[in-house]
Amino acid sequence: MGKILITPRSFSRYGAKAIEGMKSKGYDVIVNTTGKPYTYEEFYKLSSDVDGIILGVDTVDEHVLTGAKKLKGISRFGVGIDNIDVEAANRLGIKIARAVGSNFTSVAELAVAFFFLLARNVVKNVNEVKAGQWNKTSGLELKNKTVGVLGLGAIGKEVSRISQGIGMRVIGYDPFVSKEDMKEKYNIEMKCFEEVLKESDFVTLHIPLTEENNGLMNKAALGLMKSTAYLINTARGGLINEEDLYDALTNKVIAGAAADVFSKEPPSKDEKLLKLDNFILCSHIASLTVNAEMNTIDLATHNLLEILKKIT
């Protein structure tokens, strides 16, 4: 009937049922069991004769798309599609689907966990204890602090809900949502971008990466934040100008930052941000919970099969 390529490594751990479901519908299924992402060359070769792809972090540029002569649909294992040349896909008639809503709880929970880690200097203190030091590190309570949420999709709304449960005030910026709905349904006071930066104790990013907002958090934006404020990014690394962030952290323009994403992953071992006590970086794990991965497997599989069913 056709062939499907699955690149996310999670499928080899949790996706046996989904894989069998695709096979039962007559598809040959290629699953990434290498334990690491495919190289660009490997991905290009594997995608050359498939009908559908369940896509992880692999780059789908025009070269890949034109080389994949039989490709009818791409189902993202997640929400972001900045690794796909959408314009070329549309031109070639290749459908794209996203697993919207499958991992928003997991991502939101890590973002809020960063609030605690930063406010209580947890990582620095743990590292000191492991090094044989017994320093008493003071911190801040989150109650009554203001969270500024940039992007009020499913993740941003969930961050807002959890934050309010802690006793935090939530303000937000998102030009694509109704201010009235945000206030009435979610108790979020919507403000302009600059006001959110100026008023917030924690600024958390939940927006897609586009040409327009690449480097959104630059020297000027960081300079609007309180000197006691923290920046959190669980969205895309390119949203932050990392050179400007380094300067802001070393010059105490802001108090600290935490991220689950970086402009180049993994970063160089010599990356100077990693040497700062007031910067935390995780290895793009926000959506990596068993719950989220199972949800995403089911939804990404459903989305691709729906595309292929409509086309064939």
Q: Which residues are catalytic?
A: 236, 265, 284
CA gap 54, 115 in Å, rounded: 33
Q: Are 74 and 26 in contact (CB under 8 A)?
A: no
What's the maximum distance between 2 C-alpha atoms anywhere in the chain? 65
Give the C-alpha distances (Å, rounded to integers) separating 196 from 49, 136, 189, 221: 48, 33, 10, 10
Residue 41, both tokens: 């060359």
Q: How many CA atoms lie within 13 A of 39 on its CB side?
A: 3
Give the C-alpha distances (Å, rounded to integers) separating 34 from 37, 59, 245, 255: 8, 17, 35, 40
SS3 call for 112: helix
What's at 54, amino acid-wise?
I
Give the C-alpha distances (Å, rounded to integers) separating 230 from 48, 91, 214, 280: 45, 42, 20, 11
